Amino acid sequence: MVVALDSVLSILLIVLGYVAVCYVLHHIKWNKIDVGVLKLSRNKILYLSSVLIVCGIMIYMLQFFYKIPMLSQFKLLTLILILFPTAAVDYKIKKIPNKFLIAGLILRMVFYIFEFIQSFENAFSVLKDNLLAVVIYGVFFLLLLLVFKNSIGMGDIKLFALMGLYQGIWGTFSAIFFSLVVSFFVSIYLLITRKKKKKDTIPFGPSILIGTFLSICLSGM
């Protein structure tokens, strides 16, 4: 039953994310219908295939390996399926759309409602941990940006804050750690292959996606 619900939620968010990516990259307004931009291409098929594979792995790990509660599974799947379109757009245009972050925030508010209905005491404890994670990582990376110009983008900082609401202090710490490790190896590879120079900027969104996925699979949070 839980696997079926995970699958339904994943498919819904995959479709919405795919439409969002297509609309943003083609500069289509949200109140317009343009089926043409949704036409499949090689890159779009690769994107959808990657999302489906990752979701399959996530559902298996969360349900059968870690056996975490259903609502927690929904939260982590939702986070990954927000990071996928975010990473795709960041990779293409080096920008994280605020609309994606707002959508993620709204969905998290919905999960908070269900958490409070389920258990007020536990939900309040989770909320405190989540808000503390937002403050810790939001302030830390904001200070890092102020001290070291262009070290990280504001979009990345806001994304880390959103992750804090989904994963809490330790889950977000693990995700950020793996994201930095992935980013390090990606940077080394690009420099060695001379695809990038030392002064070039590299979109952080894809590394955050991969790092968060690895973190969840290895820690279950």
Instruction: Write out the chain's pLDDT in tens, 221 residues.
Output: 889 999 999 999 999 999 999 999 988 887 778 788 899 999 999 999 999 999 999 999 999 999 999 999 999 999 999 999 999 999 999 999 999 999 999 999 999 999 999 999 999 999 999 999 999 999 999 998 888 877 788 999 999 999 999 999 999 999 999 999 999 999 898 888 877 777 767 889 999 999 999 999 999 98
Identify the pLDDT of residue 191. 83
Identify the pLDDT of residue 32. 79
Identify the pLDDT of residue 199. 72
Task: Report whether 20 contacts 85 (CB < 8 A).
Answer: yes
**pTM assigned to the model:** 0.95
Identify the pLDDT of residue 30. 79
Query: To 10 degrees, what angle do helices 98-118 and 70-93 make?
Result: 170
And the tokens for 54?
Answer: 């990752």
Sign of CA dihedral 212, 217, 219, 221: positive
CA dist., res. 150 & res. 148, Å (int): 6
Domain ranges of the chain: 2-219
Give the other-Cβ count within 10 Å of 140's Cβ.
Answer: 13
Task: Report whether 157 contacts 138 (CB < 8 A).
Answer: yes
C-alpha torsion angle, residues 143, 145, 147, 151 (rounded to 10): 140
Which has the closest alpha carbon to 176: 126, 125, 132, 210?
210
Amino acid at 168: G
